[in-house]
Structures are given as structure tokens and as C-alpha cells.
Amino acid sequence: MRQILLKIKYLGTNYHGWQVQDNAVTVQEKLQDAIEEIFHERLDLTGCSRTDAGVHANEYCCTVKTESEIDCFKLQGGLNAKLPDDISVFSVSDVDLDFHPRYSCKGKQYIYKIHNSASKDPFLLHRALHYPQPLDDALLDKCAKDFIGTHDFSALCGAKSDIEDCTRTVYDASVTRDGDLVTFSVTGDGFLYNMVRIMVGTLLFINEGKISPDGIPMILEKKDRALAGRTAPAEGLYLNKVYFGGDAIGKEEI
């Protein structure tokens, strides 16, 4: 028996997230279909996390166990030949049998893309949030630093979550601009349901004057979801990087 680590990227527009569901098409289902064509059996896939409908990934990690001796390079080529064009396998490697893509994960980086322009860009449809009003990226970058640290992020957790411990550590958070494209980046040891999208919504509320620029510490302290901003749409969110032991994350090495 061997365990194979697959690193994939995908455009999430056509999928109802990662995890297999009975009544919707998902990324996991498509990848399992491709694996079944190669191995001639339905194999289980273990993913590093769930993603919501419409969310994208520049790096998503999952594992599959098999007794096949297929070469990793050939497996990568075979999977990419069978997968739809909006899903790609960019790395295939053997890992120890006790490796787990979720529990061995030490941190993740998410990015959120905002197209800040008065006019729409059809080439960014479903790939970035169109935000036509002026956006003060320098101010929001300064405000984003208030997310950094170990906090109870209850105020930034979606209502559907049943997690009791909402304490997470954010290593880095920033807002940068490249022309009309504004990117929020956040790296941490873990994230709650809708946490990054609510972070973005909170920053947008600050930009719109609905929340004070110095309001984030108070929101975190009060642990009240009603005090934070809206949940930003899924279309701008990307899982960008998954960190395992030995990877550098923020200013520390795991």
C-alpha cells in the first residue's frame, strides 16, 4: 500500500465546493472519476479542507491510497488528460502512510481578489468581486493588520458553524493593489467557516464608513457577528497555499 499526495488547482465556478454531495457536482467527484478511469476502481480521496461553492484554489492538497505501482509522472499526465479544463493536477508525489492532508496541515493562505473599477471586466467574471466605488487600499492594508495575532474569531464566523473553539492565529494579513486589482491576503494556522469572506466584508464596511477604521479590535473583543461586515461573495476567494511541516509560514518556520 502507498499513499499519493495530489496538489491541484481549480476554478470553482462550476462546482459546489470540494466535497462530494448527492445533489451537486463537486471537484472531489470529478477527480474521483478521473482516478477511477486510471485505477479501474473507486478510490477514496482525503482533502485538506472544505471549500464553498464558487470558491477557487491555486493549491489544494488531497491524498489517495492504492496498491498500484504507477509512476507519479505518468499519473499526473493521465489525470490531466481526463479532468475537465477547470481542474488541473500540478504535483504528484508519494508520502508516508501516516500523512494526513488535513491534520498534517500547519497553516493555509487565502487571497481574495477585488476588481476595483467603475466598469466591469468580463475576463474577471466569477474570478474577482467587482467593486465599482473608490477603495482606499492603503487604509485597508493598515486595518488588516488588526487581524494578526491569536484571537477568538467568533465575530468572523458564519452562522452555520458548530465549532466551539473559535481561537485561531493569523500570521500575516495585507491589502495590495496592482492597477484595478486589489488583493487581500491572509495566512494563518486555520480558518473558521466563512472567516476570510467576513474579513473582506468587514474591510469593505470600513471603506464605506459603516465601521470605524479602528473597529476591528473591538469587534474581535465583543465576539458578536452582528458587529462585523457582510460576508463577501465566494467568487473572489482562492485557497492559495497549504503549509505542512518544514514550510516557512509568515515569519516562522513550522
Domains delineated in the chain: 2-95 (3.30.70.580), 107-246 (3.30.70.660)
pLDDT tens string 19-63? 999 899 999 999 999 999 999 999 999 999 988 999 999 999 999
CA torsion, ordered 136, 147, 229, 113, to nearest 10 deg: 60
Structure confidence at residue 245 (pLDDT):
75
What per-residue confidence (pLDDT) applies to 254? Answer: 38
Contact 20, 47 (CB under 8 A): no
| 98 has catalytic annotation | no
Residues 36, 50: Cα–Cα separation, whole Å:
22
222 to each of 51, 108, 177, how far by Cα in Å?
27, 26, 31
Stretches in the chain below the pLDDT threshold 70: 160-162, 246-254
What percentage of the chain reaches a pLDDT higher than 90? 91
Residue with cell 489525470: 79
Q: What is the dihedral of CA 203, 206, 208, 209, to 10 degrees?
A: 170
Residue written as grid cell 467568487 = 235
16-25 residue pLDDT tens: 999 999 899 9
Q: What does DSSP assign to residue 119? A: S
DSSP 19-36: S--SSS--HHHHHHHHHH
Element housing 39 (H / E): helix 27-39
Determine the length of the chain: 254
Cβ proximity of 188 and 170 under 8 Å: yes
Catalytic one of 33, 52, 98, 121: 52
